[in-house]
Amino acid sequence: MTIRVLLADDQALLRGTFRLLIDSCEDMEVVGEAADGRQAVEAARAHRPDIVLMDIRMPGSDGLAATAEICADPGLAGTRVLILTMFETEEYVAQALQVGASGFLGKYVTTDALLDGIRTVAAGEALLSPGATQALITRFLTTPASGTPLAPPERLADLTPREREVTVLAAHGKSNEEIAAELVLSVLTVRTHIQRAMTKVGARDRAQLVVIAYQNALVRPEPPAQ
C-alpha cells in the first residue's frame, strides 16, 4: 500500500526537495503541500494523508497548533503527524508529543532516516529515541503544567497485567524486539499487547500510549541526572 504524505513547511525549496525524495520511492507519494499551519489543517482534511510531515515554525498558525487540530479531528483518525524541524528543543519535543505527534525528527537527518521515519510512523509505531525522548517525557509530561491527561485513570484499569507490563517497557523507550527478548515473548505477541493497550486507553499510536502511561503514573519519573 502506498503511503500518502502531506508536506507542511513554509520554505518552498524544502518542500520541493522532500517531494522529489518521497516521490522517488515506490511505496510513498506526496499528495499535497502547505506553507503554514492553517493550510496544513485544510489540506489534511482535503487529502486525508497517512502522514503529515510538519514543520514547527511557520508563519501564522504554527506546526504545533496545526498538529493539535489535526490529531483532535475524528475525521483524521487515520492521519499521523511526523514533526520535522531545525529546532529540536526539549520543550518542542514534549509539546509535539502532548498534542498528538507520532514522531520527531531534526532536518539534519539523513535521507534514509527520513524515509524510514515516515514508514515507521505510517506503520503505527512511534518514532521515539529510547534515551532522549524518555528523558523529555519524564521531565515535561509528568508535571502539573502538562495539561489534561489524554486518558482518564479508569481506562488503565482495563489493562491486563501483561498489557501493563508491556506498556511500561514501551514507556521506557524499548522496542518491540527488546520487549520480546526481556519477557521471552514473540515480537508478534508484543505487538498485539501494544495494540490492545492502545485500543483500551484510546491512544491513536504508540507515542500517545507512552504519554498516557506517564501522565497517569503507570510509569514513575526518574530523578533528573545531576
pLDDT tens digits, one per residue of 52-87: 999 988 887 789 999 999 999 999 989 999 988 776
Q: What pLDDT is recorded for position 31? A: 97
User: What residues contact 50, with CB distance under 8 A and at least 6 apart?
Assistant: 3, 4, 5, 78, 79, 80, 122
pLDDT average per 10 residues of sequence, the chain (226 residues): 95 94 96 96 97 89 91 92 73 76 81 89 70 54 55 81 93 85 94 92 82 79 52
15-47: string of b/e by CB count within 10 Å (b at 16+)? beebeeebeeeeebebbbbbbbbbbbbebbeeb
Q: What pLDDT is recorded for position 133? A: 54
Query: pLDDT tens digits for 142-168?
Result: 554 455 566 667 778 899 999 999 999
Q: What pLDDT is recorded for position 45? A: 97
Q: What pLDDT is recorded for position 193? A: 95
Return the residue matching grid coordinates 500500500: 1
For 210, the grid coordinates are 507512552
Q: What pLDDT is recorded for position 132? A: 45
Complete domains list, the chain, with CATH: 3-127 (3.40.50.2300), 138-215 (3.40.50.2300)
User: What residues contact 139, with CB distance under 8 A and at least 6 apart?
Assistant: 90, 94, 221, 224
